[in-house]
Amino acid sequence: MKSSRLRPHGGQNVSLMRRGRSNVNPRPPCWREAGGASQIRPARRPCRLAGRQIRCWYAPRNRASEDKMKNYLDGGEAILEAFRKLKIDYIMSSPGSEWSPIWEALARQKLDNKAGPAFVESWHETLAVNMATGYTLMTGRPQAVLLHAGVGVLQGSMGIHGAMQNEVPMVVMSGESQTLGEDPALDIEAQWYGGLTVGGIERFVEPVAKWARAVTSPHTLYESVIRAGEMAQRMPKGPIYLNVALEHMLHDWTPPAAAREVPPAPIVRPRQEDVAKVAELVRNSKNPVIVTETAGRDPKAFSALVELADLLAIAVINGRVNAYANFPTNHPLYLGMGRYKALDDADLVLLVGARAPWYPPRRRPTSGKIVAVHDNPLKDHMVYQTLHADHYLEGDIAESLTLLIAAMKSRRGAARRAGEGAERERHRSALAPGRARRGDACRHDLRGRDDHPFSPHPPAPPADHAAKLLSRLGRPRPGDRHRARHQARGARAAGDAAHRRRLVPLQPHHPGARRLQAARAADHHHCPQQQEIRGDAQGPRPSLSRWRLGQQRPAFRRDHRRTGL
């Protein structure tokens, strides 16, 4: 075999991409064999590099080395195989150099045409976590996040905390070094000794994650990742963090002889006697009301809630804190958002998927009974919480509502439906566009120029005007969502997963440079979005030109003044 040293091959031109990267794939369609060497034909150059020419280099192929690389399995392959077993679609990452074993495993996956997760890189660690959060909120499938050691995890901690607040399952990983260059058989870069390794980053993550631990050895790596994915999907759902040492990923790995398929998380059902007790309360009530905050997270729960309300003509109110379309806003039984005045005469309140419905917490809005329907009603991450619940239906929300419907089998509802109809019409007329005042958000045409329907997925606008604005957003479909806690940047980047729905982030009149990463990610991944920049009546109008990213897609901007809201 001839020397593998690179030799110039004159007369060939190839293109250069940004940052010195070539636009040539490892084995592109133009790959051909010539004289025992691998030669790549010239590629088309971008216009700005049309005049730049370099010489094409090629190296003789060492088939023995290729076969060895193809068959080599290390800790990176163990992690990727665990992701496949967990049915993870995407690896969201703002990576560091410790993830080179993962990149090599992804390259082998592509060369072998093997099914597995795709790698999505982002500009910032918080954005990577938020992209995984947004994707999971829209699809229900947990994803993986790979961050850089030390500071990378600390940068992403706000997104991890937001995922825990929203009970979003995901597997978050980063790596440190154990040998720090002292192993003569393993050359570790000096940066790991100089500051990237802090000696147990998981202790910083524990307060903002469901569970955080370090992988103990390369032999436990594969099953540790599997276990982390399974734990993330158990109640209460949330992010699981693993600290994976670089040495574990570089170590050889032998796949298990009989690799199991990871089963889905079980659906928890409430006790039958609890269902019968609540059904009796509903049957005997004269004026029941449903208050919901997160029922729309599951499309099955959305449909079950509509069926229950239709069956018994029960009015439905969105709670003061709601991030989803929990009930069709154009339904005759829908009374609006945060309209707790309707509870004054209620003799039964069904709290469906609520975490903090009352404020101040000591205020019990009704003298009647309160029933909490939730798979995890008591949140251990909240410092204080009171639902004033007299009964619980603790289990999967969709399953609990389905069991309750089956237990009711009642036809009492026509009188209630007629009584609630007048209240509903008063609420609808108050929000009618024809009655809006000058500067009111509902007067604006909330449709993009390409006539995409308005899809309410923005993060939280300023708190003093949020309730007034959000009460006017139509959310008739399951999956419509206007925000997730601390997901301001990630909500936009989730547009690709949301079946190309338009995202409409609501921003203050000084959005800040921290929004640029998410705007650029949405632009890069071709996610349509419409920016709604809210201005101050006393302040200057925002400069829109500096927020336009990507001329190939139109940018939409409007300025909602605070006057009239």
Q: Per-residue b/e over 2-24, b at no fewer than 16 CB within 10 Å?
A: eeeeeeeeeebebbbeeeeeeeb
| CB-CB contact of 291 with 333 (8 Å) | no
Confidence of residue 507 (pLDDT cuts 50, 70, 90): low
Residue 29 has pLDDT above 60, yes or no: no
Place of tokens 């996956």: 109
- Which range among 68-82, 93-107, 240-254, 449-463 shows the weakest confidence by mean pLDDT? 449-463
Percent of the chain with pLDDT over 90: 40
Please, what is the average pLDDT of the chain?
A: 73
CATH code for the domain defined by 69-250: 3.40.50.970
Q: For residue range 140-166, what is the model confidence (pLDDT) as tens digits?
A: 999 999 999 888 999 999 999 999 999
Q: Same CATH fold, 272-430 and 69-250?
A: yes
Nearest CA to 527 among 518, 516, 535?
A: 518
| CB-CB contact of 230 with 262 (8 Å) | yes
Rounded Cα distance, 234 and 320, in Å: 27
Rounded Cα distance, 392 and 386, in Å: 13
- Most confident stretch, 15-24, 273-282, 339-348: 273-282
Confidence of residue 527 (pLDDT cuts 50, 70, 90): low
Place of tokens 């203050």: 508
pLDDT value for 476: 62
Q: How many CB atoms lie within 10 A of CB 367?
A: 10
pLDDT value for 526: 66
Mean pLDDT of 358-368: 86
What is residue 144's three-state secondary structure? strand
Q: Look up the CATH architecture of domain 272-430.
A: 3-Layer(aba) Sandwich (3.40)
Q: pTM score, two decimals?
A: 0.69
Query: Judging by beta carbons within 10 Å of its beta carbon (0-12, 13-18, 19+), is residue 310 exposed, middle or buried?
Result: middle
Mean pLDDT of 119-127: 92
Q: For residue range 248-276, what is the model confidence (pLDDT) as tens digits?
A: 999 999 998 888 899 999 999 999 999 99
| CB-CB contact of 400 with 298 (8 Å) | no
Q: What is the DSSP string of 227-277?
A: HHHHHHTSSSP-EEEEE--HHHHHSB----TTPPPPPPPPPP---HHHHHH
The domain locations on the chain are 7-61, 69-250, 272-430, 439-561
Rounded Cα distance, 173 and 149, in Å: 9
